[in-house]
Amino acid sequence: MSRGLPVPNDNLGELEGYHSPQVRVSVRLNTNESPYPPPREFVDALAAAVEAEPFNRYPDRGYKALRSALAAVHGVRPEQVFCANGSNEVLQTLFLTYGGAGRAAAVFEPTYAMHSQIGRVTGTTMAIGQRADDFTLGIDEVRRVLDESSPSITFLCSPNNPTGRIESKDLVDEVLATAPGLVVVDEAYGQFASWSALSMVTDDVPLVVTRTYSKTWSMAGMRLGYLVGPASLVAELDARVLPYHLNALTQAAGLLALQFTDDMESRVSALVAERERLAAALEKLPVQTWPSEANFVLFRPLERDGAEVWQELVDRSVLVRNCDTWPRLQGCLRVTIGTPEEDDAFLGALEEVLS
Ligand SMILES: *Cc1c(COP(=O)(O)O)cnc(C)c1O
């Protein structure tokens, strides 16, 4: 006799999981990965580290070498750095620590869908604010949402995925002055942008900045992200995360990557230049765009249905992100900056589809 599974908790409600279809195409510009692999010397150094690793033993639970190196990069103390398997796991650990049943967290749509998704999984009530029509965020709307919901976590995303806009220092200052709890600035695309909130982090301010190796470091496959925040907050996260959550290989890779910072920075500069070229080319087509400081550009075909354009691009072996069903983004598509060749393939296909 088969026995049924218990009814799962209803934290997710009717919400669907957050998935980007992994379609087989030759030009993949849908998940904001780097089009460039990390340098050969990095892979060689990592292979040597694998050879030397005592895999029968648990890894360093406190990942001290990686933590100290990241602290040095950002001019903070190691106790102010927390790492996890992708910045999504960093966000999840924040929710496990400061969210949960009976608590609220605030986001401002349109923004990164995982903030709300992880919040709901952890039983946190999501308070949803709205950006203006041009996708800037006004402090009056922030105040309205914070007054209404008194969230224990307030999320900003700068540059904001999927709109590409950054938040100004003035806005982050005002949000910090207004928020009743923790303020999280998700800087997954921080190195592409003209400004970072990292310098605002101290032990005395309820602010954390999250970063990831997935985009600028060309290491999405490795799954490593981190935050910089007050030491007392990091201690709370450390107390809740699973033991040995950061495996030995991830620790080694994150540390070794920092030896190739110059390579990372030149990849980022090349992608920023390429973003400007692609944005200028989009200006000449019948699409609406928004200014981006990240490695992607959001656009909306003016004369065609966005979902149809998405399909016709796939038919030409170009995959971009279809944002059509996301809050406030009807008809919008998001293209990740690729190599010049990939971007030309995208622009050529789009021109064809729109003509
Ligand atoms: C890609 C992305 C992340 C990161 O994810 P990882 O789990 O580090 O791969 C986090 N925040 C935003 C806004 C992103 O776009």
Residues 183-237: tens digit of each pLDDT:
999 999 999 999 999 999 999 999 999 999 999 999 999 999 999 999 999 999 9
Expressed in angstroms and rounded, the spacing between residue 6 Cα and the centre of ligand 1 is: 32
Ligand 1 atom at minimal distance to the Cα of residue 112? 13
Is residue 158 scored above 60 in pLDDT?
Answer: yes
Q: Is 322 helix (H, G, I), strand (E, B) or coil?
A: strand
pLDDT at 16: 59
Expressed in angstroms and rounded, the spacing between residue 202 Cα and the centre of ligand 1 is: 23
319-339 per-position pLDDT tens digit: 999 999 988 999 999 999 999
Expressed in angstroms and rounded, the spacing between residue 15 Cα and the centre of ligand 1 is: 20
Say if CB 117 and CB 136 are below 8 A apart.
Answer: no
Average pLDDT over residues 251-277: 98
pLDDT at 23: 82
Q: Given ligand 1 and candidates 32, 85, 88, 222, which is best to mutate, with the most ligand atoms within 8 Å of its CB?
A: 88
Instruction: Say which range, 9-23, 38-52, 112-126, 171-185, has the weakest mean pLDDT.
Output: 9-23
Rounded Cα distance between 143 and 175, Å, is 8
9-32 per-position pLDDT tens digit: 888 876 555 567 778 899 999 999
Rounded Cα distance between 123 and 145, Å, is 19
pLDDT at 14: 64
Expressed in angstroms and rounded, the spacing between residue 158 Cα and the centre of ligand 1 is: 12
Average pLDDT over residues 44-68: 97
Q: Does an H or E element contain 119, and which?
A: helix 113-121
Mapped to the 3 state alphabet, what secondary structure does 50-109 carry? HHHCCCCCCCCCCCHHHHHHHHHHHCCCHHHEEEECCHHHHHHHHHHHHCCCCCEEEEEE
pLDDT at 11: 87
pLDDT at 22: 77
Amino acid at 266: S
Average pLDDT over residues 234-258: 98
Expressed in angstroms and rounded, the spacing between residue 188 Cα and the centre of ligand 1 is: 5
Question: What is the percent of the chain where pLDDT is above 90?
Answer: 92
* Cβ burial, residue 257 (10 Å; 0-12/13-18/19+): buried
Matching residue, tokens 């990372």: 264
Ligand 1 atom at minimal distance to the Cα of residue 85? 7
Question: What is the percent of the chain where pLDDT is above 70?
Answer: 98
Tokens representing residue 127 in the block: 């308070």
pLDDT at 18: 56
CB-defined site of ligand 1, < 6 Å: 32, 86-88, 112, 157, 161, 186, 188, 212, 214-215, 220, 225
pLDDT at 273: 98
Which among 337, 339, 270, 271 has a CA at the least distance from the CA of 299? Answer: 337
pLDDT at 21: 73
pTM: 0.95
Query: 314: Cβ–Cβ under 8 A, 6 or more apart, which residues?
Result: 23, 25
Mapped to the 3 state alphabet, what secondary structure does 33-52 carry? CCCCCCCHHHHHHHHHHHHH
